[in-house]
């Protein structure tokens, strides 16, 4: 597993940043326009247009989307780490051919299936599932 960010995430972040930059420039232009109108008419308050409010909301939306893109990538990396916990010291999944193990890999000797690796917020155990069930989120939860 490499620690590089997938190309799709990089592309998404780049496009979101371009949209955010354009929205910030638009927001600044609309604010300057409203402020110059207020100054022109010697108004005590500046009245910003509804478009200014929508652009401000869109900036907040792009910021949230950028954060979600990063969180999604971090979640994918975490899942890949969990799915690799059954590898032997030579990097082979349990049951795969490993010449250094002398046949099929015996997997991670420190974490055989059924080993409790932690607890969730409700104090339920999180256990290392059997190889055939490691892609099943329920199998990690162990016995209820």
Report CA-CA distances (Å) from 123 to 8, 9, 75, 118. Answer: 37, 34, 22, 9
Question: Could you give the percent of the chain with pLDDT greater than 90?
Answer: 33
pLDDT at residue 31 greater than cutoff 80: yes
> At residue 82, what are phi and psi to the nearest 5 degrees?
-60, -40
Question: From CA 71, how far away is CA 34, in angstroms rounded?
Answer: 37
Q: What is the pTM of this model?
A: 0.49
Q: Kindly give the interhelix angle for 50-83 and 7-40, rounded to the nearest 10 degrees.
A: 160
DSSP H or E run through 62: helix 50-83
* pLDDT, position 1: 42
Tokens of 27: 């927001």
């Amino acid at each position: 597993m490499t620690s590089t960010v997938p190309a799709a995430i990089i592309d998404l972040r780049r496009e979101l940043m371009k949209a955010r930059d354009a929205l910030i420039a638009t927001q600044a232009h609309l604010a300057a326009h409203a402020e110059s109108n207020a100054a022109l008419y010697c108004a005590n308050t500046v009245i910003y247009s509804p478009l200014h409010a929508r652009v401000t909301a869109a900036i907040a939306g792009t910021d949230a989307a950028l954060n979600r893109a990063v969180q999604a990538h971090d979640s994918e990396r975490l899942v890949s780490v969990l799915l690799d916990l059954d590898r032997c010291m030579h990097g082979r999944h349990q049951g795969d051919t490993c010449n250094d193990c002398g046949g099929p890999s015996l997997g991670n000797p420190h974490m055989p299936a059924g080993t409790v690796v932690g607890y969730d917020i409700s104090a339920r155990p999180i256990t290392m599932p059997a190889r055939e069930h490691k892609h099943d989120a329920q199998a990690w939860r162990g016995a209820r």
